[in-house]
Structure 1
Amino acid sequence: MADFYDLPDDLVIDIWGYMYEPEDVESFALVSKGIYSLSTPFLREHNRLKRQFSKISVDEYRTAETSTPSELLEKILLSPRSALYIGELRIRSFSCCLNTADAPFLSYPKDTLAAFTDAIQHSPLIKASKREHWIREVRKGNDGRILGLIVMRLTKLQKLEVRGYDSDCDHCLLETLARMEESAE
């Protein structure tokens, strides 16, 4: 009978493509010396994602240490695996609605808005009756809804810190967390 260690290297490398969970990547690399020798590119990618995403801060305006909520959501939607690495999320001061008297026409690029809309329409945590409302709010530039979408995708989140945001975001974030708690069972 054939043993796992008898598999050709190409097949073992194909198996690496199914290592989605961060813990699985590390564990699989330790199975044997042969597998560890094939793991270099996968461990390199794993360590890059761990460094880049383990602790994230979002803010209304991009700074050297933070990204905007929409930038973070776009990264998560383009690379869903990155969400598995976010263990801490710090939300710093911002207001939910980006469209103000100073910037009334601020909006997301068309393809970004389409990705956000698709994420809302396919989210099991947003009631069907509320999806159109969420889409309208996102089109207005409401980062509270964007934060809700981000938090819904962070299955490995261990710490959430929220500071200095307006009351509209408070309602949206609390509503999202309540829906997550309901579905956790």
Structure 2
Amino acid sequence: MVLKLYGLTTSTKTRSVAQICKEKEIPYELITVDLRAGEQKLPPHLAIQPFGQVPVIDDDGFILYESRAIGRYLATKYANQGTPNLIPTNPKELAFFEQAASIELSNFEPHAYGVCFEKVFKLRRGLQTDEAALAKHLETLNAKLDAYEVILSKQKYLAGDYVTLADLYHLPFGMMVEGLGYDVFQRRPNVARWWNDISNRPSWSAVKNGA
């Protein structure tokens, strides 16, 4: 049975899961959930995602939601195909992966999302950008990426010397921030090297415009 991916082709988190499927060579069928029409809040979707969000996967009857949980599941179940070591198994390397995953979740996404929220998502809802909030998110994001520069001066990727989920999870909101014209990556040589590497992966090229 082909993996079913419930989401919207342009959704950041749907594309994140789709990218992992590409990395792990997992065929999938995208089942469109029309977020603008509110389909995610209707009973059929709430039956598989009680918070009314996307994405959700159905892997031959195994239902799972939350994009990071999905990514970990797919990387673990299909460890022996596609890109290796998206989640390391060596205890020390796994610890570095968990550290990197926490860095992305705690230090990067809140502020990258904050920029996108102020410049994209609020406007879609007919709301105005809070320029002070936007400036604060950009200031904090740049400070966090200064720390990234230190980390990436010592290793190729955020968890070590090969790509992991922790790197890939930066792509949807990072690309959106860059697309808004904010130079947060290229001004730092090691961050730029890392960003250009992960953002040009074939898996991301395949899904960046739609899962």
Do both share a fold (TM > 0.5)?
A: no
TM-score normalised to structure 1 length: 0.30
Please say which structure displays the higher CA radius of gyration.
1
**TM-score, length-scaled by structure 2:** 0.28
